[in-house]
Amino acid sequence: MRRLMSSREWPATRVGTGILSSQPEENPHWWNANMVFIPYCSSDVWSGASSKSEKNEYAFMGALIIQEVIKELVGRGLSTAKVLLLAGSSAGGTGVLLNVDRVAAQLEEMGHHGIQVRGLADSGWFLDNKQYRRTDCIDTITCAPTEAIRRGIRYWNGIVPERCKLQFKEGEEWNCFFGYKIYPTLRCPVFVVQWLFDEAQLTVDNVHLTGQPVQEGQWLYIQNLGRELRNTLKDVTASFAPACLSHEIITRNHWTDIQVKGTSLPRALHCWDRSLHESNRNGKVALKGCPIQLIDSCPWPHCNPSCPTIRDQFTGQEMNVIQFLMHMGFDVQKMAQQQGLEPSKLLGMLSSGQPGPGSRKAMSSSSDNLPQV
């Protein structure tokens, strides 16, 4: 069991960042919580139950790893806990959705009925959408999202929650890996954190935003992706979705800087925690002045002024939002004309993150009017 734990990769003396930090300035609400870090070494979105055999060269045992970690932690003080927050980023975020109810059921079966199990899924709410440009499924990067999971679940002997599994035909359990499909079936409260323009989603959709100016079709696709993702979150009780181009946030040291509608992520999580503590176990009622459903409405990547800094993939130099849009090949004159604004006024709004009038309209790009960066 010890080899599955994090002693080598995450020694006790190491200082975590973001939600793992023990510094109140960086982690204002949970800096003194008991934390356990489980390294992602199973490559199965924490769903696998396949051991190594003569037929299978590799073992995929993510679901079983979580089960065994919970068993060991019960003997190390978890049995006296009031709350267990299962958190993860990227594949770990999807893993939270797949495992949070199972962990709650496991603790119940072990006789620990007083532990409230909750989930925090960061950057794991993917869409099973159509790729911008279809490619052959050679690896995890080129595979369409649905095809990657379809193939993976067979290799991993992937386990999905029974309540979700029952919603689909036999052989279509892969649907449960997509947040908007599994979320309605979950019993445990879950807080969803998701960038509206997630870099990992764009990668599997074959949209690349650095190196070459984007074409108008790409830009329309990107805007539509933001709208689609926003729509899938409308019935999620507790969410934080900034209109930024990024991936993962809860373990970043700048996680306190990102805001949606004037509220930071740590503040929103604290509000959610308080609302659950005060008997709103389903999280449907937020406390006054304490929002827990925060979704950006501005329509393009990095239109939120608190978004993390973008760096040029090739030079490593930081870019502000104007430089980023120009880097992607935008004609500021044309954008301003579409919005009914002077170019200087539009640039000022972009700098401050204010959406202009009619900003929900599709913005078009022109690779003819700006040099390639």
Q: Of 215-224, 306-315, 360-369, which has the strongest mean pLDDT? A: 215-224
Per-residue confidence band for 344, with pLDDT thresholds at 50, 70 and 90: low
SS3 content of the chain, % helix, strand, coil (to 5): 35, 10, 55
Domain boundaries, the chain: 2-309, 320-355
pLDDT score for 90? 96
**What share of the chain has pLDDT > 90, as a percent?**
59
pLDDT in tens, 3-57: 333 333 444 434 689 999 999 999 999 999 999 999 999 999 999 998 887 677 8
Give the list of residues 6+ apart from residue 116 with CB closer than 8 angstroms, or none: 82, 83, 84, 276, 281
Average pLDDT estimate for 179-200: 97
94 has a pLDDT exceeding 90: yes
Please state the rounded mean pLDDT for residues 106-110. Answer: 97
List CB contacts of 28: < 8 A, sequence separation 6 or more.
256, 266, 270
Q: Helix or strand or coil: residue 260?
A: strand
Q: What residues are annotated to the active site?
A: 90, 198, 247
Q: Give the per-residue pLDDT at 368.
A: 28
pLDDT of residue 216: 79
Quote the pLDDT of residue 183.
98
Cα–Cα dist 163/124, whole Å? 20
Q: What is the mean pLDDT of residues 297-314?
A: 82
d(CA 140, CA 133): 15
Query: Buried (b) or exposed (e) across 98-134, using 16+ Cβ within 10 A?
Result: bbbbbbbebbeeeebeebbbbbbbbbbbbbebebbee
What angle do helix axes 62-74 and 91-109 make, rounded to 10 degrees?
50
- The Cα–Cα gap between 373 and 370 comes to 9
Across 331-352, average pLDDT: 68
Q: What is the pLDDT of residue 112?
A: 96
Contact 233, 239 (CB under 8 A): yes
Confirm if 332 and 343 have CB atoms less than 8 A apart. yes
Which residues neighbour 51 within 8 Å (Cβ) at sequence distance 6 or greater?
59, 61
pLDDT-wise least confident of 5-9, 126-130, 133-137, 289-293: 5-9
Q: What is the pLDDT of residue 135?
A: 79
Torsion of CA 153, 157, 160, 161, to 10 degrees: 170
* pTM of this structure: 0.85
The CA distance from 210 to 203, in Å, is 11
More confident residue, 310 or 199: 199
Between 324 and 198, where is the model more confident? Answer: 198
Cα 105–chain centre separation: 24
